[in-house]
Chains A and B, each alone.
Chain A
Amino acid sequence: MKAVCWMGKEKMQVHDVPDPRILNPRDAIVRITSTCICGSDLHLYDGFVPTLEQGDILGHEFMGEVVEVGPGISKDKLKVGDRIVVPFTIACGNCQPCHDGLWSCCDNSNPNAWIAEKMMGYSPSGLFGYTHMLGGYAGGQAQYARVPYADVTHMKIPDGLPDEKVVFLTDIFPTGYMGAENCNIRPGDTVAVWGCGPVAQFAIRSCFMLGAGRVIAIDCVPERLELARKGGAETLNFNEVDVLDALREMTGNRGPDACMDAVGMEASGHGAVYAFDRAKQIMRTQFDRPIALREAILACKKGGTVSVPGVYAGFIDKVPFGAYMNKAITMKTGQTHMMRYMKPLLDRVQAGEIDPSFVISHKVPIDRAPEMYKTFRDKQDQCIKVVLKPWEQAMAA
């Protein structure tokens, strides 16, 4: 089958690799019909996340049709022919965190938990197409994928809904929604969102679903700001204004009730501290560039909430912890507890409350994935979200 492999920093290649097979009783094999490139894949593309290996198949946003089911899965849970979306977190459904609804903190799905424990104390769940620290499972930017614990790690999709409307239930819609839920929104609250990437676009719309009065979105890419405005947000371009001043002005010197860092470890910014962060990241003394997080903490109102759906991998410097402590801020974060959100959000899609396909800017055959990584990373060609079609042939140039 064709698969998008990470062959080194900024080096993606499509390779012909063996088809996946059932390795464990609760595995299933999915023939992929749609798969996406996620913003967090760009962290891998840029080589910032440790324990990725040459040859790893990336991709954690995929859906398709079940073509093979392991002997450990009963027919009423999952069967050949079912059309499913696959969440990016792998959960066993049996451990204490899964019972508590903390699906992305599953105890059992990461076979390399010991590596993650060295860095984090305890290991979160395994992920598709991510680093070996988080399981090293082959990802879904391919024609087929193996889904471990497939009886739990899936959601069935009724026929009639096109892929484009449901494929984002694999990650970015639930992630944006949980980011909004983590803002502890009360009716009429003001939420500031750093970043206007795909997750942020869903977060902005989710904030309004949860009763926010105002959403202020911060980015520097014109088409992304435009899309945020379409979602009802006011926007700030951090290349044009001082974000902290502008937020103070817009909220009457009170600050937003909640601030969301939907950017994560590769934030862009200005000035000496940004240069310092870049240098440290290149020197590998710091994995992450926490510019958005710093601003979010400083901008947040007293007693407010900081929600962090953006991805961080390791350690960060110069976090204004004094502001965090003295302003009595609550911070909520985590990889998305997918199984908690997929069904309710599918219901919203079916009810016509939201059509998630609005973020798609590019739809291309899988052979073009390597160039799309670059386009997406450099935000060229007004690229916001890329959907890959594994079975379509690339047009002859």
Chain B
Amino acid sequence: MNRNIDRTQSGNDSQRSWQNGLGPRGLLIGAAALIAYGLTKRSKTGAAMAAAGSVLAFRAVKPSRRSTESDARTTFLLNSTPEQAYTLWRDFEKLPRFMRHIKSVRNLGDTRSEWVALGPMEAEVRWQAEITEDQPNQRIAWRSLPQSMVQTSGSVEFTPDPLARGTYITAQVRYSAPGGAAGSALASMLGKHPEFMMREDVRRFKTLLETGEVPTTLGQSHGPRGMHGASEQFLFRETANLPDPQAAGDYRRSA
């Protein structure tokens, strides 16, 4: 019961923060991509897309007030036991294998760890976090230390399905940052769509847990992409598909 109510509320929260999170910078990049993509199509559809891009660009440069807060939550049914899922997540230093925007996590001993996230232009955002709750095979919760530039908290829960179909994972992460460089880098990083990023992180976690690897096409062979293909590649993020699972933290090549 409680869980259901909770879920509805946070759903609304995250929707709000998504609207806030779509900053002018993100919008401008999107608009530019749309214009470029539209123009390379050299067709009526392309012209329409370019026109739509121009409207977006206009909206993007209009000033707007926004905060850099985000809250996202997602749920997946895993084909594993709670023990297996808990063990994989509890190894914090390996979180970057499936958390795409996290460059590295370093254990500082005890319950503390140092996190490095990557914003646009490879700007690094650092903070220290502590584990606030650790119930083996059930729940892990963490939050940033009070003096950090970034305030973040997160939790992950593993619940066995009552009909023995696997384990539900429910993950939630909340970020907020005051203004300044770190704040704006973080905002751009999350501005894409916090709910989407969270969902893809947990999807990669599921795949890593179930198959031992994260599927990728990064680095595969292909013919010349051309101008149109290059913009599509950007839009569909083939090159930014995933961090290389064999070199966790080596984000540069994939970014």
Contact A5 B222 (CB under 8 A): yes
Contact B213 A53 (CB under 8 A): no
Task: Choose among B79, B217, B245 the residue that contacts A96 (Cβ–Cβ < 8 A).
Answer: B79
Contact A94 B79 (CB under 8 A): yes
Give Cα distance in the complex from A146 to B215, angstroms: 12
Contact B210 A94 (CB under 8 A): yes
Q: Which residues of A contact B216 (CB under 8 A)?
A: 23-24, 111
Contact A111 B215 (CB under 8 A): yes
Q: Which residues of B contact A56 (CB under 8 A)?
A: 222-223
With contacts A53-B233, A54-B226, A55-B223 taken as known, whether A92 is within 8 angstroms of B217 at the C-beta atoms is no
Which residues between 227 and 253 of chain B lie within 8 Å of chain A, taking CB atoms?
228-229, 232-233, 236, 238, 241-242, 244-246
B64 contacts chain A at the CB level, 8 A cutoff:
no
Contact A136 B217 (CB under 8 A): yes
Q: Which residues of B contact A87 (CB under 8 A)?
A: none
Q: Which of B124-132, B151-159, B199-207 contacts A (4 or more CB under 8 A)?
A: B199-207
Contact B207 A57 (CB under 8 A): no
Give Cα distance in the complex from A13 to B200, angstroms: 34
Contact A18 B221 (CB under 8 A): yes
A interface residues, how many (CB within 8 angstroms): 48
Number of A-B contacts (CB under 8 A): 128
**Which of B200, B203, B213, B236: most chain A CB closer than 10 A?**
B213
B196 contacts chain A at the CB level, 8 A cutoff:
yes
Give Cα distance in the complex from A114 to B233, angstroms: 15
B interface residues, how many (CB within 8 angstroms): 39
Q: Which residues of B contact A7 (CB under 8 A)?
A: 223-224, 226
Give Cα distance in the complex from A136 to B216, angstroms: 9
Nearest-CB residue, chain A, relative to B236:
A132
Task: Choose among A1, A72, A95, A112 the residue that contacts B212 (Cβ–Cβ < 8 A).
Answer: A72
Q: Which residues of B contact A149 (CB under 8 A)?
A: 211, 215
Q: Which of A78-86, A102-110, A241-249, A322-330 contacts B (4 or more CB under 8 A)?
A: A102-110
Q: Which residues of B contact A148 (CB under 8 A)?
A: 215
Q: Which residues of B contact A384 (CB under 8 A)?
A: none
Give Cα distance in the complex from A372 to B36, angstroms: 34
Nearest-CB residue, chain B, relative to A19:
B221
Give Cα distance in the complex from A25 to B166, angstroms: 25
Contact A113 B221 (CB under 8 A): no
B219 contacts chain A at the CB level, 8 A cutoff:
yes
B220 contacts chain A at the CB level, 8 A cutoff:
yes
With contacts A72-B213, A94-B211, A136-B238 taken as known, whether A17 is within 8 angstroms of B226 at the C-beta atoms is no
For the complex of A and B, 10 pairs with smallest distance between CB atoms:
A5-B223, A54-B229, A55-B223, A15-B223, A94-B210, A108-B207, A55-B225, A92-B211, A111-B215, A54-B226
* Contacts A51-B236, A92-B210 known; 9 new A-B pairs at CB < 8 A: A7-B224, A53-B233, A54-B226, A54-B228, A55-B224, A55-B225, A92-B207, A109-B215, A142-B221
Tell me the B residues contacting A by CB distance below 8 Å. Answer: 45, 77, 79, 165-166, 196, 199-200, 203, 206-207, 210-226, 228-229, 232-233, 236, 238, 241-242, 244-246
Selected A-B contacts with CB under 8 Å, 11 pairs: A5-B222, A19-B221, A20-B220, A23-B220, A54-B228, A92-B207, A94-B79, A107-B79, A111-B214, A113-B203, A114-B196
